């Protein structure tokens, strides 16, 4: 398929020129995100798991694309993130990074890829980089500081993740909202400072109260990336399937739908099925024809073959 898309059948003509490619098309690095923090420019990050969606996200001008372990649920149908492994994540990482030219790509180290040993954490982080990622993300606070230091020592940038940590929270108390009490707030602040001191270039704050997320953002020199943590984080991240409205039913409070693609896709496929059943698709304009003289030759040959069989 050509990189230049033209759709004249519905009266529109869309080309690659309409897509945002950044001020200069320059490939973003962790240093760009740190500069954005200094300039008080918000960081826009989305998740993506496949080539085509990553291509759109990158052309739309997002600053970062997270290849999240949420792929376990939205792409593979698991009930949580725990089952997904390195091999599956590496497939998603490769698909995304082959599409991205500008955005910073961050691979989400899945459950089991760093808990066993420092060596495992470093080795798996290296595999993400070899798959094309620019950085990795790891869940946890002070307990993962030694892992972060070792991964960074190997030359790999690390994004932290505190607050609600989907990989393990359900194994304990499954509390989604963090920072509701003095004890919880102070622990989050300690974790954030420890991650920064360990060398993390940013930290995701998931389901942290607005007040505590604000305090953390004000007390760190690295950008905070919020998801369900209020407006005052240095940036935001949303799962692309959520912001595109690809789900029905109850939605998380912090999700905003910028499209309603579930209904659009459902209606399109339903109409396709109806057209097939009613013999309205394909039409002649969707079909191909052979030369009439060649068809006559084929029919003549078939007639001769039938005659020979009957004799």
d(CA 135, CA 158): 6
Residue 206 annotated to the active site: yes
Nearest partner of 16 among 63, 58, 73, 72, judged by Cα: 58
Tokens of 178: 């963090």
Do 159 and 200 touch, CB atoms closer than 8 A?
yes
Q: Which of 206, 211, 263, 294 is catalytic?
A: 206
d(CA 114, CA 121): 4
d(CA 156, CA 29): 12
Burial of 187-208, coded b for 16+ CB within 10 Å and e otherwise, reads bbbebbbbbbebbbbbbbbbbb
d(CA 182, CA 184): 6
d(CA 205, CA 195): 12
Virtual torsion, Cα 70, 109, 233, 52, nearest 10 deg? -50
Do 84 and 77 touch, CB atoms closer than 8 A?
no
- Kindly state the DSSP code that residue 72 receives in the 8-state scheme: H
Residues acting as catalytic residues: 206
């Amino acid at each position: 398929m050509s990189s230049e898309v033209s759709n004249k059948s519905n009266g529109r003509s869309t080309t690659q020129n309409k897509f945002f490619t950044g001020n200069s098309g320059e490939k973003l690095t962790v240093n760009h995100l740190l500069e954005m923090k200094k300039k008080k420019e918000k960081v826009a990050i989305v998740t993506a798991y496949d080539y085509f969606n990553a291509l759109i996200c990158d052309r739309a001008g997002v600053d970062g694309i997270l290849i999240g372990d949420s792929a376990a649920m939205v792409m593979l149908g698991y009930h949580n993130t725990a089952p997904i492994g390195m091999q599956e994540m590496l497939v998603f990482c490769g698909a995304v990074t082959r599409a991205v030219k500008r955005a910073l790509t961050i691979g989400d180290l899945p459950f089991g890829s760093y808990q066993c040993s420092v060596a495992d954490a470093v080795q798996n982080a290296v595999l993400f980089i070899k798959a094309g990622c620019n950085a990795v993300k790891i869940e946890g606070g002070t307990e993962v500081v030694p892992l972060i230091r070792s991964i960074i020592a190997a030359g790999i940038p690390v994004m932290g993740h505190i607050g609600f940590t989907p990989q393990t929270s359900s194994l304990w108390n499954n509390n989604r909202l963090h920072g509701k009490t003095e004890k919880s707030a102070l622990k989050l602040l300690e974790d954030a400072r420890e991650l920064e001191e360990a060398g993390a270039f940013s930290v995701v704050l998931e389901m942290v109260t607005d007040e505590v997320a604000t305090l953390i953002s004000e007390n760190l020199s690295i950008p905070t990336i919020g998801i369900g943590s209020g407006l005052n984080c240095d940036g935001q991240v949303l799962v692309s399937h959520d912001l595109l409205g690809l789900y029905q039913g109850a939605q998380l409070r912090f999700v905003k739908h910028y499209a309603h693609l579930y209904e659009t896709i459902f209606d399109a496929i339903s109409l396709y099925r109806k057209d097939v059943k009613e013999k309205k698709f394909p039409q002649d304009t969707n079909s191909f024809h052979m030369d009439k003289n060649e068809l006559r030759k084929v029919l003549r040959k078939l007639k001769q073959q039938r005659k020979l069989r009957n004799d």
